[in-house]
Chains A and B, each alone.
Chain A
Amino acid sequence: MIWLKKRTTQGAPQARVRGAQQADLDQVIEIDAGVTGLRKPAYWSEILQRYGSGRRQRFFLVADSGGRIEGFVIGEVRDWEFGSPPCGWVFAISVRPDARLGGVGTLLLEAISAGFRKLGVTKLRTMLSRDNQLILSFFRSQGMMAAPFIPLEKDLE
């Protein structure tokens, strides 16, 4: 299933959101490596297999501007984790640094949210490092608030 959208923001390229394809992978890897400093081709190949077009309840969407991938978002519907009713879970979103502040992230989040809504989901969730101010601020600007969950961890010795 593919969602198409277009938006012209002043100074920003037109972009449409669609399902990720094999041919997009090099650009996705490049965007991710630019942000994280690590190239992970095997990981992204597996992600495409697991979340690429046609996967039930799973989404791997890219913002395509004339063949240039400006960003991507990945998520899935998660059912009844710790008693929580099904929710749309976003676990990755990234936009090329030179395409930021042009509405690409918003476009991607709107597209995946539309996909979740079509599946009957009414809640969007995500989790990220509290040091990640850039993405935290982005999600906050989209109206996201603290969820009624607390992430916990421990060292396994």
Chain B
Amino acid sequence: MKLQKNTLLALYSVLEFAANPGRQLSAAEVAAKYRISPHHLAKVLRTLGRARLVAAVRGVGGGYRFAGNAKRLTLMDVIELFEDISAPRRAPAKGAQRRRAATDSIAAPHEVEDALGVVLAEIDEIAKATFRSITLDTMLKLVERRRGAI
């Protein structure tokens, strides 16, 4: 599973807001911190707002604040707002293409693709399980641990 740029921006943003739950942050502040385009980030924040992970605060000094539950929200909850995770990248075609005669000794291209698809799907499933098992709160603790280790 390769995450798209928007997904990564969403993860950075949500973690930034979750680390400061009571504080309003502007898109410009987050964009500056991660050196990303504010325009690009605004689109991501709108999606996060629609999913009620962040709430827009209007007016002077407005911005966004965290609106979720960091102990319940997982990385996957954020990722699936931006990625289609419903199907494996290359679903193995189970028995669907047995065109090869039993006597053929060399694998046909679709058979190689099929076998490779099994391995890629396996990797995807492990990645998904990992993203599902890590809450924002756990992720913030990991950031703190790594800061302490440096």
Contact = CB atoms under 8 A, between A and B. Distances in A.
B132 A141 contact: no
Interface stretch (A18-26, A114-122, A132-140): A132-140
B129 A130 contact: yes
Interface string B110-148: 000000000000000110011011110110011001000
Interface string B22-66: 000000000000000000000000000000000000000000000
A146 B130 contact: yes
A131 interface: yes
A131 B76 CA distance: 13
B145 A133 contact: no
Interface residues of B, number: 14
What is the size category of the interface that chain A forms with chain B? Answer: 10 to 19
A66 interface: no
A141 B141 contact: yes
A143 interface: yes
- Specify the main secondary structure of chain B where it touches its partner: helix
A130 B138 contact: no
A136 B132 CA distance: 9
Nearest to A133: B132
Contact of A137 (B74, B125, B141, B142): B74
Contacts of A140: 133-135, 138
B145 A136 contact: no
A103 to B, nearest CB: 13
B129 A137 contact: no
A130 B125 CA distance: 9
Given A136-B132, A140-B138, 9 more contacts: A136-B129, A137-B74, A137-B132, A137-B135, A137-B138, A140-B134, A141-B135, A141-B137, A141-B138
28 contacts: A130-B125, A130-B126, A130-B129, A131-B129, A133-B74, A133-B129, A133-B132, A133-B133, A136-B129, A136-B132, A136-B133, A137-B74, A137-B132, A137-B133, A137-B134, A137-B135, A137-B138, A139-B133, A140-B133, A140-B135, A140-B138, A141-B137, A141-B138, A141-B141, A143-B141, A143-B142, A143-B145, A146-B130
